[in-house]
Chain A
Amino acid sequence: MLHAFGCGESEDGLGTELSSIFTWKFFTESIATDGESEKMDILEVGIPGKWEPNLPDGHISHFALDIGGSLIKLVYFSTNDEFDVVDKAGRLGKQSLGKGRFHFANFETSKINDCLEFIQTKQLHLGGCQHLEAPPTDTTIIKATGGGSYKYADLFKEKLGICLDKEDEMDCLVAGANFLLKAVHQEAFTFMHGQKEFVNIDHNDLYPYLLVNIGSGVSMLKVDGEGKFERVSGTNVGGGTFWGLGRLLTNCKSFDELLELSHKGNNRMIDMLVGDIYGGMDHSKVGLSSTTIASSFGKAVSDNKELADYRPEDISRSLLRMISNNIGQISYLNALRFGLKRIFFGGFFIGGHTYTMDTISVAVHFWSKGEAKAMFLRHEGFLGALGAFMSYGKHGFDDLMFHQLIQSAFLAGDKIGSPTNGKLSENESI
């Protein structure tokens, strides 16, 4: 199933796959007339041909940031050769000299210092890793997106001496998503009742689609093409709400912990179901089954119980269902409104968590009466950071065709803890 990719993604839902892995095999040909050296920091596109490594100069940085309300997402690229490459595409062999890796890391925004330290440690702000010899410059410019790129600009300047070049958040999201959908084989999948199913999308039939990015809040973007999109809706009930309310209600210490709780919960303890109101009967006239949630947390009304009397697991589950349902519904309504067939969900709330994907899928299925399907991106969560990364000059990513990316099926996410934060996860591969 995951034949060439994604073995690193655990299906255990523990959230470690927040940072997923790209294994790239880059084939490039330098366009004959090429004289634009600045164009080349990563790779060029095309039919297999000659690859000319263009080492970035000191001004071109190799990482980009997405500083959201809850999480900081970091993408960096290295041309490090230290890993073996399982080259499945023999025909490309000789010329495929260039190997790059995308690294994905995330930090809680509240622990931004960990992030700064990580960057420092990795010397990312100096233009990348050990093999970059270019001297650091004072004017290093780093692409960043997310609200925090404004808020923390001074901090980055002060601590690392770098300027954050603010890229529009939506631009980045869309660029990231378009890139992934076009360039990565089997990027999109559906997830219903625990069944993951990859969806092959014809590039010519990709647009328009609805991109729902679930971060702290939720943005809904109608994407009509490269750089052509519109924020059509959104909701303030998003991942931040889940986590925020969840913390208040359960004392969980982290998002992942809260999410894990939800797996063991039963929302019937707290939600008022149609069956609770109708004495176990379906309210069939309006097509509501007895297990449909009539009112989230509605049962907490009638009981004489206190908060402490409810299991945190049940609370977490109810909360997750409430928020997922709601996002699924509003997304579907917007898709319907614009006649969009496809809805892609991304953002840290999804984070590959099977249960949130499941509930969102169920919601979309429910409201669309099966007409629409929720789809997810394997690299959700890093859309913004990836988009920001891609906004460096003319890196040429835009034209990447998916068959030119080969994902190697090795390297289960090796977690590299940052020096200061054991929970930091970073997965990388070539």
Chain B
Amino acid sequence: MAGLTEDPELGINDIKEETERNNKRIDKKVGVVAEESVQGEREMAPPAGGLIHRSGSRPQLDLSKAAIQGNFEERNPTILLPNQSDDISHLALDIGGSLIKLVYFSRHEDQSIRKKTVKERLGISNGNRRSYPILGGRLHFVKFETSKINDCLDFIYSKQLHRGGMDARWHSELPANENTVIKATGGGAYKFADLFKERLGVSLDKEDEMNCLVAGANFLLKAIRHEAFTHMEGHKEFVQIDHNELFPYLLVNVGSGVSMIKVDGDGKFQRVSGTNVGGGTYWGLGRLLTKCKSFDDLLELSQRGNNRTIDMLVGDIYGGMDYSKIGLSASTIASSFGKAISDNKELEDYRPEDISLSLLRMISYNIGQISYLNALLFGIKRIFFGGFFIRGHAYTMDTISFAVHFWSKGEAQAMFLRHEGFLGALGAFMSYEKHGLDDLMAHQLVERFPMGAPYTGGKIHGPPLGDLNEKISWMEKFLQKGTEITAPVPMAPPGTTGLGGFEVPSSKGGTLRSDASALNVGVLHLVPSLEVFPLLADPKTYEPNTIDLSDHSEFEYWFTVLSEHLQDLVDKAVASEGGTDDAKRRGDAFARAFSAHLARLLEEPAAYGKLGLANLLELREECLREFQFVDAYRSIKQRENEASLAVLPDLLIELDSMSEETRLLTLIEGVLAANIFDWGARACVDLYHKGTIIEIYRMSRNKMQRPWRVDDFDVFKERMLGSGDKKPPPHRRALLFVDNAGADVVLGMLPLARELLRRGTEVVLVANSLPALNDVTAMELPEIVAEAAKHCDILRRAAEAGGLLVDAMINTLDGYKENSSSVPLMVVENGCGSPCIDLRQVSSELAAAAKDADLIILEGMGRALHTNFNGRFKCDALKLAMVKNQRLAEKLINGNIYDCVCRYEPLR
């Protein structure tokens, strides 16, 4: 227990650059890096080549491309530097009185032999196209007890972190730097400077502790959307903080001692107070009183404690009556440990559990009170608590929150940070010049919750698990551990551990363990190319999720749906990898990992931050990728694409024979009908087993009886075709967010796109960057379009104008020819790999493409219903979906399964 533990890491996946030109520039700038990055890329990273289909030759996107380039110029180098530069270390330390916190940057040790196979699997044959430098890495968070500093030194040595870490392998030709300087903070940075020099030959460059704390906290609060949360009576609630209103705040860092810092801005702060009664006091006194061997043991004991046996409560003094005059209830603690006075008991006569709880209460309450008083003095409303004492422990947080609430009479709020404990180390890391992390925005970080990472980083006694097999073995072990974690922890009888009327916190047992709290923190992928979708009417209030899973019955429902669907998914996934033994083993591991995630979430829905259905679905995809199932539906998608493309010409002929008005209706019907082809919906999976694609499509379209459950078609039609003689101008550019591969896109969205093109509207097909279920990806679309274009002149010319055909046909670099005869059809990736989409985080080229768009069409349940159903935009928006889930139908549109939604929201 006493050993180190590693928290999950910040993953840094760098920008995916899209043009040859830029690509060369990167190569020049960062030297060897580009190559490495291909090796170093983690297995779940986007497959190389995801952006194939925008060539530098597309004139339409020239402007936006410049913007992208701008991003590149501005952000990229700074992000690359910590990885690449030889004179910048990869390690920062926070050496406190009790614990050493260590943050280091690494590339992935798992040298990807897989990279090639990933490409093969994805069917990327034309290797000469480009290898996109997806420069990635992670920040690892490790802690050691200060008393075991030698373990820490050994760890650093074994990983060669003082020499640039694992990257040293790649820089092996370089001589080891004799003068390595490592950023360090905390008191120990002074105390142990000589030791580090002697043992590792490195100099510690002492960074001011407060500077680091504040830098770390500011970074987290700015960069991570759901970093801060409140925790009252066992209930966790995430707080989204407007950056403009962040300052001033009080930062209370509870380490061995407690520092209270008033923060007025970046680098602007003052230590206003503190207390010597902190984590060290808890652990120190606790050790003396209970003989616990570790802080975590002590904390765990408290969970089963009853402080009433030791604390003197108001009720004990007043004979069970409240001292109501001054607002003290009978269960208020009048005097911590006050009962140990009057009894004739010895230390041995008290339960260590009770002692631990009393101690925890005493210290937490005290910290909360002093913090509040200071906040009050400075007129500060927000108090953030961080530091190792907190460590996600529900009782601790509840007690502190209670104290703040109690003393402030509800005026002030205690808030906590998910990455608490590493503020100082993170800040020290950030003090390396030119890392560029300062400028990060929340939308550039994607948080993932892989199963392996917290555990490979959990209790490290050697190099972290690099190999997938190790990870799977670990999974198998985890299965047992996981059941321990989720097992309910016995609670003290209710109503006895009062603290000013505050009864036993209802917090779940699982939140106690540091293991569990490590699970609360995900991996942060840094994707500098992500941007906020510019057409969102109000990004600040935008909430992607339609369904809030904090409603427990709602979560239980989706829990069941996902659980039932799991086996089918595993089968598909295993089959997609040829059904090998390896694939089966990975499939099993995936199923276990995902089930464990679900179980954890069922127990504590807020464990991973604010949870919506979109997050849950994305979690599943991430989990698949983690076990190296790149594209479980690949062969299915191919088959369906082929089948659909085969009937497309007939459909187009049929459509062209119709009047414009009829055609528009038929097209929308077609989109809705084709949307039934969805492997994500269980109801539809059953259908699949019963019919062929075109049969289902026809049957489905025939059933399209208007009015639909939500039917704004007439309004939409009027905008498109006008009424009477009035012919409205066509839209300039439409963004079509497509959903599934196969009939959905080929027979539904593509004909609609064609209609828009025919009317002179530029069309941008927006598809996933990474596979998710049977959703079509941006990488697959060009080939589909190319195939469709063979039979359709409109599509062909538009695709050529959009540069799609050039790419798809593997042409010369100068294949582009100015062809003004058609508006272009383009494809952009949306930047995500989930069936849903969070429009706060989209790819920069989607953001660029959106700038000229005046119509967006969201299609499918994931993007139009589960998310964005309530989203508002700065342009006309059409939301099309067939509801393939009875519960959702009832809840959202008061309808039934297979009802259709055609919601048109014109810009007012």
Contact = CB atoms under 8 A, between A and B. Distances in A.
A100 interface: no
Contacts of B355: 248
B125 to A, nearest CB: 60
Contacts of A244: 310, 312, 335-341
Q: Which 8 A-B pairs have the closest CB atoms?
A: A277-B187, A147-B317, A240-B338, A298-B280, A240-B335, A295-B280, A297-B284, A244-B337
Contacts of A228: none
Contacts of A299: 280, 284
A305 B628 CA distance: 49
Contacts of A152: 319
7 contacts: A237-B362, A241-B338, A286-B259, A298-B284, A306-B288, A315-B288, A333-B377
Interface stretch (A77-85, A193-201, A324-332): A324-332
A215 B255 CA distance: 29
Nearest to B321: A150
Contacts of B325: 168, 170
B186 interface: yes
Given A147-B319, A301-B256, A301-B287, A294 B366 contact: no
Contacts of A249: 288-289, 347
Given A243-B340, A333-B374, A337-B377, 14 more contacts: A69-B338, A148-B319, A170-B326, A217-B338, A236-B366, A247-B341, A295-B255, A295-B284, A296-B280, A298-B98, A300-B283, A301-B256, A306-B291, A325-B277
A235 interface: yes
A248 B289 contact: yes
Given A233-B407, A241-B337, A326-B277, A300 B187 contact: no
Interface stretch (B268-276, B601-609, B828-836): B268-276
Contacts of B374: 333
Given A248-B350, A326-B366, A333-B374, A294 B280 contact: yes
Interface in A199-240: 215-217, 231, 233, 235-240
Contacts of B334: 69, 147, 216-217, 236, 240
Interface in A311-357: 315, 322, 325-326, 329-330, 333-334, 336-337
Interface stretch (A41-49, A53-61, A268-276, A411-419): A268-276
Given A68-B317, A329-B370, A217 B335 contact: yes
Contacts of B332: 236
Most buried by A among B310, B336, B355: B336
Interface of B: 96-98, 145-147, 186-188, 190-193, 208-210, 255-257, 259, 271, 273, 275-281, 283-285, 287-289, 291, 295, 310-312, 314, 316-319, 321, 323, 325-326, 332-342, 346-347, 350, 355, 362, 365-366, 369-370, 373-374, 376-377, 407
Contacts of B365: 236
A192 interface: no
B376 A301 contact: no
Contacts of A293: 257, 276
Most buried by B among A146, A274, A286, A307: A286
B275 A329 contact: yes
- Interface size range on A against B: 35 or more
B340 A277 contact: no
Contact of B337 (A169, A245, A301, A325): A245
A238 B317 CA distance: 14
Contacts of A243: 338, 340-341
Contacts of B346: 248, 251
B342 A150 contact: no
Contacts of A270: 284
Contacts of A337: 373, 376-377
Interface in A5-52: none
A176 to B, nearest CB: 17
B288 A307 contact: yes
A333 B370 contact: yes
A281 interface: yes
Nearest to A242: B337
Nearest to A71: B341
A301 B283 contact: yes
